[in-house]
Amino acid sequence: MALTLSKPPRLHAGDKVAAITLSWGGAGAFPARYALGKKRLKEHFDLDVVETKNALRDPAWIAANPEARADDLMEAFSDSSIKGIFSIIGGDDSIRLEPFIDLNVIARHHKVFMGFSDTTSVHFMCMEAGLSSFYGPAILSEFAENVACHPYTIESVRKTLFALDELGEIAPSPKWTGERLAWDKPENATIQRKLYPNAGPRVLQGKGTASGPLIGGCLDVLEMLRGTMLWPSLDKWKGSILFLETSEENPSPDYFRRWIRGYASMGILEKVSGILLGRPFTGHDLQELGQYDKILLEVVRDECGLTSLPIMTQMDFGHSDPKFILPYGQEAEINCGLARLFLSGAAVK
């Protein structure tokens, strides 16, 4: 059975959304940056951002209390006045929330949920509860971007979370950045990160088009999910478009190869209709940008013999910026001839 998820109600100007800490306590560590992200959500989308009970706690407290973080998530889903939930930032341990999550709460209260990176774990909770959630910007990173939010990200949020129009072609951002500027230096907030021309998506192999529902996330986090109750059965991967990206830790090529081989050994690569790979967070080193592409092709084509499986890489989602939003379960089409991704219908209702 292919992956089928329910779309949440769309957001409207004036809606109340919850800002939540699911993993690292970044808002407590950088309150000024959080305040900026919250301010921008009001300015650009007229959203009334409210913090969950423990969202602004310091990182040490957050790390020691996964049950409290899970309670925050359950309360945010249960509260009918809250129309959406935005992750403040990622981290490395949202998987620890799993024992304290009641999936029935999510199933009964479908609403917009968005985040990326370590938030992958919570997306898989939403998926298990039948809800289409959104792999996209976080408050501390994209909405509190140095100097100003990227227009490309703003447009993706409006188009994906607020509108009922056909999503259609996901055009690449004209420019991108992967520059690191430390948040613990306040002066960096006034420095725009270096932007580089975007050559657009790269088709590694495949002809024509391939379509299917979107499923995937951050590879580093997916490794933590394998073998848990949240890992989808093999039939859920059948005919899907698998989207993958790597964290800001830039896992070594050897780890990347082993992870992709794992998907091959589980039979997932044989089941999917196509693969999307987000641009790695490697700065502007073009050689580094292509190393995952080379490995992905070697495993899929040379080791597995899947010579016609469409693969499109260097895409604007994941840890580079700006980024577009990927809705879980949304019908997607890879057009190999155009080197473009298309999303069918609206992502919300």
Model confidence pLDDT, tens digit, residues 272-288: 999 999 999 876 565 66
**Residue 93 confidence class, pLDDT cut points 50, 70, 90:** very high
Q: What is the DSSP letter of 141?
A: I
pLDDT tens for residues 17-46?
999 999 999 999 999 999 999 999 999 999
Specify the CATH number for 168-343; select among 2.60.120.20, 3.40.630.10, 3.50.30.60, 3.90.1150.10.
3.50.30.60
Q: What is the CATH number of domain 16-162?
A: 3.40.50.10740
pLDDT at 255 over 90: yes
Q: State what percent of residues in the chain have pLDDT above 70.
A: 98
Distances (CA, A) of 53 to 17, 49, 94, 101, 218: 13, 13, 17, 16, 27
pLDDT tens for residues 175-216?
999 999 999 998 999 999 999 999 999 999 999 999 999 999
pLDDT of residue 287: 64
Separation of first and last alpha carbons in the chain: 23
Domain ranges in the chain?
Answer: 16-162, 168-343
Distances (CA, A) of 60 to 18, 29, 64, 199, 321: 22, 10, 6, 41, 28
**Residue 244 confidence class, pLDDT cut points 50, 70, 90:** very high
- Return d(Cα 315, Cα 313) in angstroms, integer: 5
pLDDT tens for residues 112-146?
999 999 999 999 999 999 999 999 999 999 999 99
Structure tokens at 79: 């509260």
pLDDT of residue 284: 59
Q: Say whether pTM exceeds 0.85.
A: yes
Give the residue-averaged pLDDT of 293-319.
Answer: 97
